Copies of this chain bind each other. A is one copy, B any other.
Amino acid sequence: MESRGTLRRAMVLVLAATQAYAQADPLPSWNDGPAKKAIIAFVQATTTPSGPRFVAPEARVATFDQDGTLWVEHPVYTQLMYSLDRVPAVVAKKPELAAVEPFKTVMSGDREAIAKLPMPELEKILAATLSGMTVEQFNAEAKKWLATAKHPRWKRPYTELAYQPMLEVLKYLRANGYKTYIVTGGGQDFVRLYSEEMYGIPPEQVVGTAGATTYGYDKNGSPVLTKEPKLLLNDNNAGKPEGIHLMIGRQPYAAFGNSTGDKQMLEYTRSGDGTRLAMLVLHDDASREYAYGPALGLPDSKVGTFTQALYGEAQKKGWIVISMKSDWKRVFAFDP
């Protein structure tokens, strides 16, 4: 009787442990595969106090690119969509712009012509729509847009287009003492408006492309910060590690990206001592999201931001590629 009782208790314990394990899967939207395994192994290695690769809680920093890594970046990245939508309001205030490129093209509504605008022209649109107002005015306008604008494909607010598996990674890292940061080429002020609600990342943990502000006073003598068309930080490419140093002052232990603009951030992260995780999201799922980059098998000159060269570098350096198609059970929270 004694031994049967012991066995029964042991079996109950095993069952309980199994259930706890099942309940505790921190990444339920991930298929079992090398990417999921790498994330879990990284967290376990760096948070096991007796282990050789333990990282002190205050040093646990993980950085995430946003566009194409945490949410959809096609057909164009969301902040550019915002800026294009703001052009009519800017032209209404300065009617002389209606006859000047690139504003003329944007006002024409010709989607094909707009899609062909080169980067320096797009930068004129960004500057005109993201500066020249107070921080409060910008915040109010952008919030209004975020609440009403919808993605052309899913007909849902952009803020619903976060990748569910990545939300789970953010949560899992935070549950293990990691401070999660967004390090984005997008505008810092723009992303800060929704990062807390969408990703659980507070404004002070958003590092983005940032323009200068000027402190002054309104007509009542109250302090105001005005957004200037002067670039302080271009948070792309080399600007990502530079921005991380400026705004965080610590080298990340984990970094997630999806494009050539994230290369330096991943290199910088991996160059630190101990276990460092570098991951790249590969867009290879045309049916659930989009397929671009090496997934298409095109030469780099025809590819956007995730090139064969970057893919090769990832393989050479031990960066882990996340295949949306095979690593993710679902892409969005609203997926079946």
* A interface residue numbers (CB < 8 A to B): 58, 135, 179, 188-189, 192, 196, 202-204, 206, 210, 212-216, 222-223, 225, 232-233, 238-239, 241-242, 245-250, 264, 267-268, 271
User: A137 to chain B: closest CB distance in Å?
Assistant: 14
Work out how many copies of this chain go into the complex.
2
B215 contacts A248, C-beta separation under 8 Å: no
A188 contacts B249, C-beta separation under 8 Å: yes
Contacts of A203 on B, CB cut-off 8 Å?
248-250
Contacts of A268 on B, CB cut-off 8 Å?
215, 223
B215 contacts A264, C-beta separation under 8 Å: yes
User: A286 to chain B: closest CB distance in Å?
Assistant: 34
Instruction: Specify which of A58, A192, A223 lies most central, judged by the most chain B CB atoms within 10 Å of its CB.
Output: A223
Contacts of A213 on B, CB cut-off 8 Å?
242, 245-246
22 contacts between A and B (CB under 8 A): A179-B204, A188-B246, A188-B249, A204-B248, A204-B249, A204-B250, A206-B249, A213-B246, A214-B238, A214-B242, A215-B264, A215-B268, A216-B238, A222-B271, A223-B241, A223-B264, A223-B267, A223-B268, A223-B271, A225-B245, A232-B232, A232-B233
A215 contacts B242, C-beta separation under 8 Å: yes
Tell me, in angstroms, the Cα distance from A192 to B245 when the chains sit together: 11
CB closest chain-B residue, reference A58: B202
Apart from A58-B202, A225-B242, list 11 A-B contacts with CB within 8 A: A135-B245, A188-B246, A188-B249, A189-B249, A204-B250, A212-B242, A213-B242, A215-B268, A222-B271, A223-B267, A232-B233
Contacts of A58 on B, CB cut-off 8 Å?
196, 202
Contacts of A241 on B, CB cut-off 8 Å?
215, 223, 225
Contacts of A246 on B, CB cut-off 8 Å?
188, 210, 213, 232
Instruction: Specify which of A192, A238, A245 lies most central, judged by the most chain B CB atoms within 10 Å of its CB.
Output: A245
Closest 4 CB pairs of A and B: A203-B249, A215-B238, A223-B271, A204-B248
User: A132 to chain B: closest CB distance in Å?
Assistant: 16
Tell me, in angstroms, the Cα distance from A216 to B242 when the chains sit together: 10
User: A331 to chain B: closest CB distance in Å?
Assistant: 29
Tell me, in angstroms, the Cα distance from A264 to B217 when the chains sit together: 10
Contacts of A267 on B, CB cut-off 8 Å?
223
User: A254 to chain B: closest CB distance in Å?
Assistant: 16
User: A235 to chain B: closest CB distance in Å?
Assistant: 12
Instruction: Specify which of A58, A215, A245, A264 lies most central, judged by the most chain B CB atoms within 10 Å of its CB.
Output: A215
Tell me, in angstroms, the Cα distance from A83 to B188 when the chains sit together: 33
CB closest chain-B residue, reference A179: B204
Tell me, in angstroms, the Cα distance from A210 to B242 when the chains sit together: 12
CB closest chain-B residue, reference A181: B204
Tell me, in angstroms, the Cα distance from A233 to B249 when the chains sit together: 15
Tell me, in angstroms, the Cα distance from A241 to B223 when the chains sit together: 9
User: A247 to chain B: closest CB distance in Å?
Assistant: 6
User: A167 to chain B: closest CB distance in Å?
Assistant: 19
CB closest chain-B residue, reference A222: B271
CB closest chain-B residue, reference A268: B223
